[in-house]
Structure 1
Amino acid sequence: MRTAEIKRRYLAHFEANGHAVVPSAPLPAISDPNLLFVNAGMVQFVPYFLGQQTPAYQRAVSVQKCLRTPDIDEVGKTSRHGTFFQMNGNFSFGDYFKAGAIPLAWELSTKPVAEGGYGLDPERIWPTIYLDDDEAFEIWRSVGVPAERIVRRGKADNFWSMGIPGPCGPSSELFYDRGPEYGAEGGPAVDEDRYMEYWNLVFMQYERGPGATKEDYPILGDLPAKNIDTGMGLERMASILQGVDNLYEIDEVRPILTRAAELTGKRYGAHSGHVASESHPDDVRLRVIADHVRTALMLIGDGVTPSNEGRGYVLRRIMRRAIRSIRLLGWQDRALPELLPVARDCMSPSYPELATDFDRIADYAYAEEEAFLSTLRAGTTILDTAIAETRTAGGTALSGAKAFQLHDTYGFPIDLTLEIAAEQGLSVDDEGFRRLMADQRTRAKADAQARKTGHVDLSAYRRVLDAHGPTDWQAYQSLDTDSTVLGLLGSDGASTQVAELGEIVGVFLDRTPFYAESGGQHADAGTLTGDSVRADVLDVQRPIKGLVVHQVRITGGTLAVGDRIHAAVDPQWRLGARQAHSGTHVVHAALRHVLGPSALQSGSFNRPGYLRLDFASPSGLSSATRSEVEDVANLAIRDDLPVDARYMTLPEARQIGALALFGETYDDTVRVVDIGGDWSRELCGGTHVDRSAQIGALAITSESSVGAGQRRIEAVTGIEAFRYLARERDLVTNLADQLRAPREELPDRITALVSRAKAAERRAEQLQLQLTREQARALAGSAEDIAGIAFATSTGSADADPRQLAELIRRELPQERRGVVVVANASNGTMRLVIAVNDAAVDRGTSAVHLVKTVLGGRGGGNAGLAQGGQPGGRPDQVVDLVRELLRSAS
């Protein structure tokens, strides 16, 4: 029975028994900030179990996509471990309990296939129950299970909780006897390889307190309602019904593994039997490939894209493990174009959207493989050298500094460094690496905080907050307030009572209309004025929650603590900021409209008249796509869509589809900004226009890469957009005048000019190469003899590239005779030196890199045949003389 059919029958069985069919939630755990990914079938129902929300149904059934990554390093080592899996679940929210759950599970398990069931042999099913759960025991007896096959087990096995205070309860697990070829007889307590668990029924009826272990916690009492939460592993049931050993052999996984084996010429299972400890390295790698390719397909299908943080990092790591595993098996070409379509064909019977959305999925996957192969080539060479050096020195561990350099400089992931080092019999100073990473993060945070706080100790801000309470922040309601100065901080970070003319100080007010920089929006500009002072507001920050500090320059009079002043935001500045921030939301919505839901914002910044937005995309936008995004954005502006801001709880915002920036932290109450209702709906704390037409106009000025799989759009809005378009018009007019061509012919005329220029450059390069070859022949012909060595030199400021000239001269020297070439020239106060040595001289012990390092005092690098270096203020003729003397003395 195919896995898709197992899924269909499960949903149909419970739907026929009054359950609402609930679609799988996406793999990213958007509704739970404590999870990266949904890791259990009940995750999307947690608010119902906790009583936080009232469900629209009392019974539900789902087949939930799940991902668990804590054991990612164990994947492949046994046939049990995997990352992506599917959990069939039926749920009751205060409706039926044990007497309903057990018969429903028994019926589906044992009902004949012809009648819509799974047709399992009832004589081979072994239920387990909690030690004192006599009620469950009697129900199992009533459906026909003999007492000797109902196993009582302790809290560690048959009592469920989330691991934290909250709902809990006893459980009953169903095991299926796969036969004596899988292990010893005697039930699940004897052998859980032979007796495979396939369904867990949780009777959620108690509330637990805190505890240090899985078994050590108090039961506080009964829940207000008794609930049912079950989970049937779809892959495990497929293993049973398809008569195969494990999840890697079912219909949704085995074809991927088989294709990987075909590509690499390996045969899966040729070296091992059922015992996990016997897994051969080839089998381990084939399992890694099959699991990780399928998981990557499902993650990208649900909108996750490769990156260096959060969910994107998990995806990147999974993909890179798969790519490297197949390369270790001998396949050196691109692997994902061969494997991902197989995974699609395996999974699309259950998830048809994978087939319709495959082009987008493949774009991200194939681009990530290309990027990783480049990283792999550069990083592996450096790592191999470091491993060799460590071994030569007698070491057993690669230094944390080298691992950090590979990660920080070359983008080589630490998990890959650990794997490669382990394969070579070395450990890695992981603690040293983590310490260097932590130091880097600490410095980055300190630098960012210093930029926002002017290097002031945060305790100074806390004293102000403790003394006066939070700032009355009125940026949404007003452009000006009458305020009182509560405190001043001088440029040295110390409190002061008075600020004089020309000073730049931090000012605390009891209330303010100024927007403090946050959420990608630049702070407001404006003035503080009073009877004896005028100050320009340069920046506004929230150094700690609840407190706003204004950085101001005193331009007239003096400012003192206790002064009454008028705080006024520059209205034109605020207007431009509102246009830009609303424009950011409009561009984001337009991108998703054109590219699809995966084009999620990963960062933004806006100031009056300008915005930039980073988003996930495997490749750059074509000019046609860029124009379409711009067109969709401007149509939304033209339609004068209403802009609305409202407050609600975070779960409520998630429920109505509000987009949040992953990695940001949000309070329990959030602000949701709608543009045109659900056309654009995002969590946002910025200032916005009242209707989209107030943005004025929007022009995209650039689109570029900011990293693998990440793009950046820059745009201008309002009056700045009109000014930008006017400059573009003037530029086109100027070009048309100079080329004496109509505007519509400009692209063709410019293309023709560029082609002619490139052709001229190629001809010039060919002429230069010809001249260099002639020069090389002449210099080789005039080589002097030093103890049997043909010694050719060039010290002029020739136009030829020194390395190219040295190689050409070496080629012209007699190959049967030892030859050494020195090319040295000085430019802009620096001498560049290249030494080339032919094979005959290398064979006799002459080394180019030794000569370069000797004459340059250790500088330079290369190999025995060719090396180069530089020296400030060096003289070419002196270097040639030094090499000449070295060759003579060596003879």
Structure 2
Amino acid sequence: METAEIARRFLAFFEKNGHTVVPSASLVAEDPTLLLVPAGMVPFKPYFLGQRTPPYATATSVQKCIRTKDIEEVGKTARHATFFQMLGNFSFGDYFKERAIPLAWELVTTPVEEGGFGIDPERLWVTVYLDDDEAAAIWRDKVGVRPERIQRMGMDENYWDMGVPGPCGPCSEIFYDRGPEYGAEGGPEADEDRYIEIWNLVFMQYERGEGSGKDYPILGDLPQQNIDTGLGLERLASVLQGVDNIYETDIIGRVLAKAAELSGTRYGDDAGQDVMLRVVADHVRSAVMLVGDGVRPGNEKAGYVLRRILRRSIRNLRLLSGSDAFHMHELTAVSIDAMKDIYPDLLEKAAMIHGVIDAEEKNFADTLRSGTALFNRAAERTRAAGGTTFSGSDAFQLHDTYGFPIDLTLEMAAEQGLKVDENAFDSLMQQQRDTAKRDAKAKKLGNADVSVYARLLDTSGATDFLGYTDQEGEARVLGLIVGGQAVDVARAGDKVEIVLDRTPFYAESGGQLADQGTISVDGRGTADVEDVQKPLPGLFVHRGTVRSGELVVDDPVHAAIDGGRRASVSRSHSATHLIHSALRNALGPSTGQAGSENQPGRLRFDFTADRPLRPEELAEVEEEVNTVLADDIQVRDFQTSLDEALKMGALAMFGEKYGDRVRVVEMSDYSRELCGGTHVPATGRLGVVKVLGESSVGSGVRRVEAAVGIDAFRRLSKESMLVGQLSEQLKAPREELPERIDSLVSRMRAAEKEIERLRAAQVLQAAAGLADGARERAGVLLVAHRAEDGATGDDLRKLALDVRGRLDGDRPAVVAVAGVPKDRPVVVVAANKAAQKRGLKAGDLVGVAARELGGGGGGKPDVAQGGGTDPAAVDRALGAIEARVGESA
């Protein structure tokens, strides 16, 4: 039975049994405590925790999941994978064990021709929690499982909780017996390689308290009993398709076979190669699904997960094939085709997915070249200094600058017999995260618990948004939040979050910044609104400060936005749509929006592209947009169904969630997008759009920034004034300025090179005198010289080598030259072969000097370079080298 058919049968069975079919949520988790969705129950977590009221009593889904905790085990075992699909049925207080258990057994054992999975009951075993007599009795008496096929297990195997205080309860699992050839008799407690778990039924019936691991108190019964089940789609597919592991099932197997073909290997011939092929197959499929859900490669959060698995697959492919060929496009195509029956939207996103993955493969090829060179230099320094540990700072630079996942650095270091200082690397990573957190602190939702918002939403309903037609209006205060807690009164000076029954304020979303303005109670108080967010769908939260008086829950208030600011932001948002269309016209339909920000008078628009725009292309985009402005096209918005909007060609932003009804914003046939933002009534209202530049913001993602309206005019006016000043100063017409400036720059560079040549020659002129003045120390010819400040590190190196070459080659000789280029001290040491035989190695001597300078360094035994932070210590550093030479006797 094909994987897509298994998923279809599961949903059909539970829909027939009264469950609402819920589409898979995005892999990008809404839960702020999670990065990506790791389990099928995650989208329903607010219902289980009582934070929100579920819209249905029972549900069923096929949920996309990602887990990278055991990424090193992927390919090595039959069951580990980064991407997997979890089939589940859920009850929110509707039914419990007495129905969940028989439903599971019915679906698993019903013959295929009658809509079930047709598994022989004689191959099934079940487990229950130690003291769960109720579940055991249902399996035995209601379902008919023989008592010897029901095994009891402890908390580690058959008890579920979220790891924090909240719902918990016993589990019951269904196991499939693969047969005696896979292990010992005796059921799951005897051998879990032979008996594999296919379905876990969680009975949420208790509330747990604080504790660690499985050591926590049970506080009592939950107000309602819930059901959460999870059946691994890929694992069940391996059972029903009669294969040994998930990598040989119909979907992953197709990707694996293509990887073997492209790499010139054959699956099954070599155990090591088989592991690598499985890694490639799993990771490519995972990458396709992540990109399809809007994730882009990066160095943080979900972007780092995507980059890590992509780069692991690319490197494994290159190791398998022994070539630098680009293969990800073909593997991506196979993966999309294999998954399209379950996720048809992948076909619509195919061009986008290809663009992102192809760009990352190209980017990683460049990274491997430059990053490997940096790695090799750092590894050489480590060995030259006699060390065996690759520094954490070098590992961090590889990660931060070159995008090397730490596991790749660990792998490459191990190949060269080195360890990596992971503690130092982790410390640097944490410093970077802490900085990012400080920068983002108090942004968006403040510190209120989401349950505070959930209670307001449940009791008062969604906020009525008036902002498409009104810039001010009357409203009523439904809730006030101060310091994360709901309060009845907010007084002057309080930082407050205000929830109204209706509002003209636009809440930040879709790249458009929130409105600002005031909320006031006649004669009693006023609050300045600085930001508006939607922590839950439909709930507008106005964040600001009570300027005077007080606001009280149930107060009638007057809400008014800053109309000038709204108009300026709306112009930017409309300009963003126009730039999107112009970019698609210039680069093709695979160019898609990857993010945006619309602020007063200025915008930035991120889009997918595998190369920078040429200057002439950027100029054409700007001209096309301003032509549309001159045509003064009417801007129209309307509501329709999602299917109808897509049929008429409306663009949807990947990663966004849309309901059955959507709002379309169109500018004739030039631009048509799904959008909830505010816009100008006609394109002529934008005045002028000035593109400020184009740049890279990540692998496969570019950014255009532009000024709009009066801000664009001011920019153009300023640039015109600057051009005029340059024209006057250079005594050249405006149209001749590029050639004139180019000529001046060329002459300046030539002069700088000549100055550099003369200065280097001057430094080297000292070589003969330094060689003649060499002193003998413990039988070693020694030159310890401080060069004039300003000499570069390259100058110092050339001088040291020149002096060494002038000394008697048969006698041990050491040359140490130090200087302070650009306010940072540098020392270079050169030692001839005779000195090296005496144990005087350049790398060791540089280390001695660098410690005095407050830094480090290293190199080969014949020449090495180091530096530090203390320019005043140069003479001490040279003295330390002289002392070490003196000790060599």
Q: TM-score, length-normalised on structure 2? A: 0.61
Determine whether 1:300 maps to 2:296: no
- The alpha-carbon distance between structure 1 residues 877 and 162, as it changes in their structure 2 partners (threshold 3 A), is closer
Give a deviation string over 1:289-312, Cα, whole Å, max 9, x none. Answer: 442233223322443211244422
Q: Hey, what does 1:867 align to over in structure 2?
A: 865
Match of 2:709 among 678, 700, 718: 718
**758-767 or 182-191, larger mean C-alpha shift:** 758-767
Structure 2 distance, partners of 1:372, 1:151, is: 54
- The alpha-carbon distance between structure 1 residues 35 and 806, as it changes in their structure 2 partners (threshold 3 A), is closer
Structure 2 distance, partners of 1:449, 1:41, is: 30
Q: CA deviation at 1:315?
A: 1.6
Q: CA deviation at 1:246?
A: 0.8
- The alpha-carbon distance between structure 1 residues 788 and 179, as it changes in their structure 2 partners (threshold 3 A), is closer
Match of 1:679 among 655, 672, 685: 672
Q: Secondary structure at the match of 2:705?
A: strand
Aligned residues: CA RMSD: 7.4
- The alpha-carbon distance between structure 1 residues 825 and 255, as it changes in their structure 2 partners (threshold 3 A), is same
Structure of greater relative contact order (alpha carbons < 8 Å, 6+ residues apart): 2
Q: Hey, what does 2:486 align to over in structure 1?
A: none
Please tell me whether the aligned partners of residues 259 and 339 of structure 1 are also in contact (alpha carbons under 8 angstroms).
no
Q: Hey, what does 1:81 align to over in structure 2?
A: 80
Q: Secondary structure at the match of 1:867?
A: strand
Q: Hey, what does 1:700 align to over in structure 2?
A: 691
Match of 1:317 among 293, 308, 314: 308
Please tell me whether the aligned partners of residues 695 and 704 of structure 2 are also in contact (alpha carbons under 8 angstroms).
yes
Match of 1:363 among 356, 359, 364: 359
Q: Secondary structure at the match of 1:348?
A: helix
Q: Hey, what does 2:451 align to over in structure 1?
A: none
Q: Hey, what does 1:109 align to over in structure 2?
A: 112
Give a deviation string over 1:641-667, Cα, whole Å, max 9, x none. Answer: 547699xxxxxxxxx999899899xxx
1:62-73 equivalences in 2 (<5 Å): 65-73=64-72
Structure 2 distance, partners of 1:708, 1:515, is: 36
Match of 1:620 among 595, 612, 618: 612
Please tell me whether the aligned partners of residues 790 and 817 of structure 1 are also in contact (alpha carbons under 8 angstroms).
no
Give a deviation string over 1:395-445, Cα, whole Å, max 9, x none. Answer: xxx999999899789977667788899999989887x98888777766665
Give a deviation string over 1:368-388, Cα, whole Å, max 9, x none. Answer: 564477557657976998999
Q: Hey, what does 1:807 align to over in structure 2?
A: 801
Please tell me whether the aligned partners of residues 780 and 810 of structure 1 are also in contact (alpha carbons under 8 angstroms).
no
Q: Hey, what does 2:571 align to over in structure 1?
A: 579
Please tell me whether the aligned partners of residues 393 and 425 of structure 2 are also in contact (alpha carbons under 8 angstroms).
yes
- The alpha-carbon distance between structure 1 residues 339 and 522, as it changes in their structure 2 partners (threshold 3 A), is closer
Q: Secondary structure at the match of 2:852?
A: coil
1:826-841 equivalences in 2 (<5 Å): 833-841=827-835
Determine whether 1:183 maps to 2:186: no
Q: Hey, what does 1:348 align to over in structure 2?
A: 337
Q: CA deviation at 1:247?
A: 1.5
Give a deviation string over 1:427-473, Cα, whole Å, max 9, x none. Answer: 9887x988887777666655666999xxxx99xxxxxxxxxxxxxx9
Q: CA deviation at 1:840?
A: 3.2
Please tell me whether the aligned partners of residues 689 and 708 of structure 2 are also in contact (alpha carbons under 8 angstroms).
yes
The amino acid that maps onto 2:83 is F
- The alpha-carbon distance between structure 1 residues 414 and 523, as it changes in their structure 2 partners (threshold 3 A), is same
- The alpha-carbon distance between structure 1 residues 23 and 479, as it changes in their structure 2 partners (threshold 3 A), is closer
Q: Hey, what does 1:245 align to over in structure 2?
A: 244
- The alpha-carbon distance between structure 1 residues 756 and 615, as it changes in their structure 2 partners (threshold 3 A), is same
- What is the aligned residue count? 781
1:776-787 equivalences in 2 (<5 Å): 786=776
1:522-561 equivalences in 2 (<5 Å): 548-549=544-545
Structure 1 distance, partners of 2:750, 2:257, is: 53
Q: Secondary structure at the match of 1:211?
A: strand
Q: Hey, what does 2:27 align to over in structure 1?
A: 28
Please tell me whether the aligned partners of residues 292 and 655 of structure 2 are also in contact (alpha carbons under 8 angstroms).
no
1:387-536 equivalences in 2 (<5 Å): none
- The alpha-carbon distance between structure 1 residues 181 and 623, as it changes in their structure 2 partners (threshold 3 A), is farther
Please tell me whether the aligned partners of residues 289 and 323 of structure 1 are also in contact (alpha carbons under 8 angstroms).
yes
Structure 2 distance, partners of 1:162, 1:830, is: 56
Structure 2 distance, partners of 1:683, 1:476, is: 9
Structure 2 distance, partners of 1:90, 1:592, is: 42
Structure 2 distance, partners of 1:570, 1:360, is: 39
The amino acid that maps onto 1:7 is A
1:321-340 equivalences in 2 (<5 Å): 321-322=312-313, 337-338=326-327
Structure 2 distance, partners of 1:110, 1:871, is: 78
- The alpha-carbon distance between structure 1 residues 442 and 194, as it changes in their structure 2 partners (threshold 3 A), is closer
Give a deviation string over 1:301-327, Cα, whole Å, max 9, x none. Answer: 443211244422322333355567779
- The alpha-carbon distance between structure 1 residues 125 and 333, as it changes in their structure 2 partners (threshold 3 A), is same
Match of 2:4 among 3, 7, 31: 7
Please tell me whether the aligned partners of residues 183 and 193 of structure 1 are also in contact (alpha carbons under 8 angstroms).
yes
Q: CA deviation at 1:717?
A: 0.5
Q: Secondary structure at the match of 2:604?
A: strand
Structure 2 distance, partners of 1:174, 1:875, is: 71
Please tell me whether the aligned partners of residues 63 and 86 of structure 1 are also in contact (alpha carbons under 8 angstroms).
yes
Q: Secondary structure at the match of 1:237?
A: helix
Q: CA deviation at 1:712?
A: 3.6
Please tell me whether the aligned partners of residues 59 and 89 of structure 2 are also in contact (alpha carbons under 8 angstroms).
yes
1:162-201 equivalences in 2 (<5 Å): 173=174, 175=176, 177-185=177-185, 191-196=191-196, 200=199
The amino acid that maps onto 1:548 is G
Structure 1 distance, partners of 2:184, 2:880, is: 81
- The alpha-carbon distance between structure 1 residues 422 and 21, as it changes in their structure 2 partners (threshold 3 A), is farther
Q: Secondary structure at the match of 1:292?
A: helix
Q: Secondary structure at the match of 2:572?
A: helix
Please tell me whether the aligned partners of residues 149 and 187 of structure 1 are also in contact (alpha carbons under 8 angstroms).
no
Give a deviation string over 1:780-818, Cα, whole Å, max 9, x none. Answer: 986757457385979568898332343355456665554
Structure 1 distance, partners of 2:869, 2:43, is: 65
The amino acid that maps onto 2:136 is L
1:374-385 equivalences in 2 (<5 Å): 378=374
Q: Hey, what does 1:496 align to over in structure 2?
A: none
Please tell me whether the aligned partners of residues 532 and 542 of structure 2 are also in contact (alpha carbons under 8 angstroms).
yes
Please tell me whether the aligned partners of residues 11 and 21 of structure 1 are also in contact (alpha carbons under 8 angstroms).
no
Q: Hey, what does 1:131 align to over in structure 2?
A: 136
1:155-166 equivalences in 2 (<5 Å): none
Structure 2 distance, partners of 1:785, 1:284, is: 62
1:40-79 equivalences in 2 (<5 Å): 52-53=54-55, 65-79=64-78
The amino acid that maps onto 1:715 is A
- The alpha-carbon distance between structure 1 residues 219 and 783, as it changes in their structure 2 partners (threshold 3 A), is closer
Determine whether 1:846 maps to 2:840: yes
Q: Secondary structure at the match of 1:78?
A: coil
Structure 1 distance, partners of 2:111, 2:749, is: 75
Q: Secondary structure at the match of 2:696?
A: strand
Please tell me whether the aligned partners of residues 579 and 621 of structure 2 are also in contact (alpha carbons under 8 angstroms).
yes
Give a deviation string over 1:564-617, Cα, whole Å, max 9, x none. Answer: xx999997666545433554565567668867688555563634x333345666
Give a deviation string over 1:20-72, Cα, whole Å, max 9, x none. Answer: 999975753577777654556788899999985589xx999x87644334444
Q: CA deviation at 1:181?
A: 0.9
Please tell me whether the aligned partners of residues 818 and 825 of structure 2 are also in contact (alpha carbons under 8 angstroms).
yes
Q: CA deviation at 1:343?
A: 5.6
Please tell me whether the aligned partners of residues 591 and 629 of structure 1 are also in contact (alpha carbons under 8 angstroms).
yes
Q: Hey, what does 2:602 align to over in structure 1?
A: 610
